[in-house]
Amino acid sequence: MLYGELGIFLKTVIRDIEQKSDFEIIEMETDKDHIHLMIQYIPRVSISSIVNRLKSVTTFHLWQKYKLFLRKYFFTSHCQ
């Protein structure tokens, strides 16, 4: 599912988040249904805040762009 255009878009969104944040992505790879990230960050930033930002922003952008596609796989309040 995270291959092709959708995977490329996801990586682009994550790189955009990185540019506006206090962390650096060392490595990033998508798999069928998840993504692997190696992140370098400064101690004053919590890893949970980084993960929260990545999850919330990517979810928002993915649902905006791929709503019809994702609707086939997920039944959430985003589909309404």
Residues 29-45 have pLDDT tens digits of 988 889 999 999 998 98
Say yes or no to pLDDT of 78 above 70: no
Pairwise CA distance, residues 15 & 13, whole Å: 5
**CATH annotation of 4-79:** 3.30.70.1290
pTM given for the model: 0.83
Residues 44-77 have pLDDT tens digits of 989 999 999 999 999 999 999 998 888 887 765 5
Q: What is the domain partition of the chain in residue ranges?
A: 4-79
- Evaluate the CA torsion angle 36, 20, 7, 61 in order and state its sign: positive
Q: Select from 3, 9, 2, 4 the least CA-distant residue to 57.
A: 9
